[in-house]
Each structure stands twice: as C-alpha cells, then as structure tokens.
Amino acid sequence: MYDLIIRNARICDGSGTAAYRGALAVSEGRIAAIGTRIDGDARTVVDAGGKVLAPGFIDPHTHFDAQITWDGLATPSLEHGVTTVINGNCSLTMAPVRAEHRAFVGAVFRQIEEMPAAAFDAGMRWNWETFEEYLAAFRDNLGINVATLAGHSMLRLWVMGEAARERSATGEEVARMQDLLRECLQAGALGLSTSWVDIDHEHRPVPCRLAAPEELDALCAVLGEYGAIMQVVPEFWDPDLLCARIDILGELSRRHGITVSFSPLFDSNATPELVPRALERVRLQTAYGARIVPQMQTRPIDVTFEFDVPTSVFSTRPTWWATILKSADETLADFQNPAIRKQLVDEAYNAMHPIAMEVHFPDFIVRRCHLPHNRALEGRSLKDIAAERGCDPVELMLDLAVEENLQTCFSAVAVGHNNLARITGPLSDPLVQVGSGDGGAHVTRFATYGDTGYLFSCFVREAGALSLEQAVYKLTGQIARNWGLADRGELRPGLAADLVLFDPDTIDRGPEIAVEDLPGAGYRYLRRASGVEQVYVNGQLAYSAEAGYADARDGKRYGKIVSGARPSAA
C-alpha cells in the first residue's frame, strides 16, 4: 500500500516535456510510481481535479539564514509552492562564525539584508560556531528543505579575524580557508558564495571584497574537488564591469570544472543594453566550455520604507544615505536644516548612479501615516498631493517625515526591473534561471516572495512567453540540475516526493499584506499566494490553501538539509 496517491492530475514533471493526465504515488517520502494510471490503494488518496501537479519549486536565492533557526518553515515559502530554499548567498551566512565575531556578523546581516535589529536579536540563539553546528541547530525543526552555501566573507573572518576587513590573505591563510571550506562542504554546504559589491554596516567593503584573485581561485579549486557551485554578486548595474566579471567567472568555471551562478541579472531603464550584452557574453563563455548561470527575478521592485530605519533604496545617494544612517534625532535635525535639505532635494532629482536613476521621488506613494489627520493621504502619490498643495514633492515628503517623527511609511513602486518588453525575452532564454528573489531579507521593506506565481500569471498566461511546461522547468528541473540537487526537481520514481498542486488559471503572486509577527520589528510585508492548493515536502503534506500549514508529524517535521556537493573521488 502506498502512503499517498494523487490521481486525475495534469502532470508537469519538471523536465520541460509535454504535460499529460495521470497519477503519482508516494511511499516513504519518495515517488514510488508515476504514469497515466496507477493501480493499488493508499492511506491517502487525492483527486487533483485536473490541476497541475509539479515538482516542488526551488528558490535558489534566499537569505533565511537567521530566520530558519527560529522558523523552520521559512515563511511564506511553502505558500508559494517552494519546497527547497537555498541560503547563504552574497558571501553571507550564519556560520562558520566565532563567538567574538557574532556582533559584527549580525550587524552586517542586518545592514545588507535589512533584518530589523529587534527581531534578529530576539530570534537568534547563537548556540553554534562551526558550519556543522549551525546545521545541527535547526535540522530537526525543518518543515521545508534547506540548502546552504558557505559565505566567503565568513571564511575570511574565521581565519583572519579583524584583518579580513583590512587586507588580502597570505598564502598560509588562503590554505587555511581552503581547509575550512572543505570542512563546510563535508558538513553539508552546497557550495560557496561571494560578492564584488556589498558593503557592511560601517559602509566598508564586506571581507570577501578584500580577497586577491589568487584567493578566489584557490577556493574554486576546492569547489572543483567536490563538484560544488559558486554564487557571485557582480556589479549588476554596469554593462562593462558585468561583462568583465563574466569573463573572470568563465575562466574560473573552465579551470576548475565548476558551475558559477551570478545574481541578479537586472534590467534597468538607465542601462537598457545591459541584459543583452551580458547574455551575449554568457553565450560566448558557454561556447568556450564555461558553465555560467545568470539569475533573473520575474517581478518588479517595489520598496516600502520609513526614515527611522536605514533602507538600501537610498544607498546610492550619498547625502540621503549619510543622513538616514544617523540617530533619529540627528536625522530629524538634518531634514529641517535648510542647507542639508537643499542638498537632499537636489540629490533626489539629479542622481548619477544607474540604480539611483530608477528611483523617481515624486512617484512615491504615501503608504501609511502615523497621525490621524494625515490618514487621508494614504494611497496617494507625493506628486498628486504636492500639486494640490502647490509645493515640491520631495519637500512634502521631508515635511511629512518631520511632522510624524519619521514614522510615515512610503512606497517606491516599480523602481526597477519593470519593463516587461525587455524582460520577457531574457527570462525565457534557456541560459537564464529564475532567481534573486531575496526571500527572508528586506522583510520590512518589500514583499520578497511572488516570483513563482508571477512567472505563471505574467509570462505564461498573459504574455505567452513561456509554456506551462517551460515555466515549471525553470522553477524545478533547471535549478536542481544547475545546483547539483540530484534527487529533486523532477517527478520520477526514486526521487524525493516534493510536490506542488496548483491551478494554472489562478496561480499568482498574491496581494502584498502588512503583518506584525516579528518581535519588535513592526510591520513586515508578505505575499499570500493564490492558486497554490497543496504542497508536499518529502511526501508529507506541508501546506494547503484550505487548512494552512500542517502540524508536525509525531513531533517531527519533514524538511531536510540537502546538498549536492560530493568529493569528486567518491
């Protein structure tokens, strides 16, 4: 007898081949049978009613590294059909971290990924140091599968201490980093992540940016020993720099026989030629034998912010950034200082950085007001309100922020990656992988989920740029193959029974909602997906639209730590 049979399903098996009407059976957490018909009984039988049955979606770019230690479900991943999340991107993870470096790592993580300090401090227990101890800290409380990269910045900090922020490594230190990376891979790390762009809480380069080329080459040699992947954040806003970085990644990939994934591949109105040029360079390196995987998100960027907490939307405007990094009292004083205020207004309209050029202050929406007499402004743009009042929109925003003691909430809507005509072609390119969603990060700034549903609603149903089967493949089989997740990503006998049942006519990213469920964090922004009906993790029902999240079975959850890294000699 099977544990589960799902009948009358439209099966998209994750390989990209044509869907068909059939059934699937599960035993002991794995797919036992699949086909047009399955005979036999099961403890649980589900009639899919013609809905799509697909492999559980894989999210390759998340930052649940801290959240997963207190939220084994990586909320709200399951609601969007995601059954495996990949953490540790952008050179950052929670291990290996020595006890004396915890404060620094926490500050860096909160700065780059915009995790509220109160929530971070309330949730983190820090009862580990090594990578193995970190995985053990949450292994038994997982309701979702987790794969974690080892962060290059963390390797440097462990080996070099404070010097990791000051200089390149010596040969002996590089050798120690190689050994440490081997330990991480043997403990279960999926690969290595690094960054050429990120800055820490003191506006200094994160440690991995101080690495000499020889150091990265040596670490890639270790990845080659294990058949492991490397994830990189390049200068995604500059076409020339990005193409130069792709050439470097191509050389590393060929020399060490590894797959390298860079993220994000970001479309910009300021540099519309960037994506075509980057893809042309990826094709060239691929033709020479490199394995380079660009990651592209599906949804436009919408950012919500208040001025009492720094937000990266202003990080490319020096005066704004310097002002909001100060204490609340100092920020309020700067907003009222005529000289500084003039600089802020001028900088709002005269941005030089390509990313900053995407952000148009007059189009900001007043999302939420603190004072009752301002509530009528909610949902309206600064431009429209300013036109009524005969004032400048940026001046209006500063006035509101001062009046409400920096607690007015604003939204910058579609501030980038929102040109569907330019995105559609690259997103459907076989070389491009769906990713860079940033789940678990920026939780008080924007809803970091919705890529899966938006892929189906916008690019399959509306634009017709991808078939249903192609979209499923991009969320499952393609990612599993690129990242070495050999037992997931397709519906085949013997593979893990990670499954999602969804309605292809209604699946969407869902509405953005504000919830208060993180200790001391105020609001965070989530998307409740629509059209996802049931999600199974390793054969167990983990989520259903009807009943919500399933309880743990026999006191245990059903998620696993997964890794594709194995010694090449094995």
CA–CA separation, 67 vs 78, rounded Å? 15
Of the candidates 366, 431, 432, 435, the residue with the CA atom closest to the CA atom of residue 403: 366
Comparing CA positions, the residue from 65, 24, 59, 60 lying closest to residue 45 is 24
pLDDT of 106 reads 87
**In terms of Cα–Cα distance, which of 307, 317, 288, 278 is closest to 400?**
307
Report pLDDT for 268. Answer: 84
Half-sphere exposure of 299 (CA within 13 A, CB side): 24
Rounded Cα gap, residues 16 and 155, in angstroms: 38
Is the CB of residue 512 less than 8 Å from the CB of residue 525? yes
SS3 10: strand
Look at residues 80, 103, 567 and name the one whose alpha carbon lies nearest to residue 299: 80
What predicted TM-score, i.e. pTM, was given to this entire model?
A: 0.90
Judged by DSSP in three states, 496 sits in strand
Helix H or strand E segment including 117 = helix 117-123
Please report, in tens digits, the pLDDT of each residue of the chain (570 residues total).
Answer: 999 999 999 999 999 999 999 999 999 999 999 999 999 899 999 999 999 999 999 999 999 998 899 889 998 899 999 999 999 999 999 999 999 999 999 888 777 766 666 667 767 788 999 999 999 999 999 999 999 999 999 999 999 999 999 999 999 999 999 999 999 999 999 999 999 998 888 889 999 999 999 999 999 999 999 999 999 999 998 999 999 999 999 999 999 999 999 999 999 888 899 999 999 999 999 999 999 999 999 888 777 788 877 777 787 788 988 898 888 999 999 999 999 999 999 999 987 776 666 778 998 999 889 899 999 999 999 999 999 999 999 999 999 999 999 989 888 876 677 788 899 999 999 999 998 666 654 444 444 566 888 899 999 999 999 999 999 999 999 999 999 999 999 999 999 999 999 999 999 877 666 655 555 555 555 667 789 999 999 999 999 999 888 876 555 678 999 987 677 543
At 549, give phi and psi (nearest 5°). Answer: -80, 135
What is the full DSSP assignment across 516-530? --STT---EEEE--B
Contact of 518 with 551, CB cutoff 8 Å: no
Tell me how far apart the alpha carbons of residues 93 and 67 are, in angstroms, rounded to a whole number.
11
Which backbone phi and psi does 84 adopt, to 5 degrees? -140, 130
Closest by CA to 87, choosing from 102, 73, 68, is: 68
Residues 6+ away with beta carbon under 8 Å from 505 = 461, 531
Domains of the chain (ranges, CATH numbers): 57-300+428-449 (3.20.20.140), 303-412 (no CATH)
3-state secondary structure of 204: coil
- What was the pLDDT predicted at 269? 81
Q: Please report the pLDDT score of residue 449 as a whole number.
A: 64
